[in-house]
Amino acid sequence: MEKFDPTRFNLADALKKMQKQQVVPEKKHNHKEAFCHMSYATSNDNPDKNIYVRIWNSRDGVTPFCFQSKEFAVELQHVQWRSDQYDPNYKPKPGDLIWRDATQEDKELWFEQKKEMLRGINDPKMIEMAAHVLKTYEDNPQIFFAEIRDGEPVLDLVK
């Protein structure tokens, strides 16, 4: 092996050589988390409710940084981002949690839930506003549906 001679070292040539050797991966998807298994966990604030789950993103779409778990009444956050595992050919099994795109049926369910929530408001300071929003939605449902982005993520349990 040759001894390093600093007088013969050319940084520009070395960088060019390194760039030629680097393989730049072709961009496959629009979102880094596309088709990845991702980890979600509770924060360490409540050691009695430590929950850790893996969720597969079944699409080329963004995913929430955090979400509320109705089952456990806690917030789960996307953690260990560097360990997200790209797996575009994964076939979900029963019991798996996945992110999927919202369907028209999801959106219609959300619409009904939103109207029901507005009907349930009984705070005297909020009743008038809730009634106005409810009437606006019922008279012009497109206003509600326009608020939902295409590709809105839905957490689903595979059956």
pLDDT digits over 20-62, tens only?
A: 655 545 558 899 999 999 999 998 676 677 899 999 999 999 9
Asked if residues 41 and 74 have their Cβ atoms less than 8 Å apart, the reply is: no
| Cβ contacts of 46 within 8 Å, gap of 6 or more | 74
Span 61-88, pLDDT tens digits: 999 999 998 887 889 999 998 999 999 9
**Closest-CA residue to 37 (of 94, 102, 99, 95):** 99
Q: Token pair for residue 34? A: 């596309």
Predicted pLDDT of residue 49? 76
Structural element, H or E, at residue 15: helix 11-21
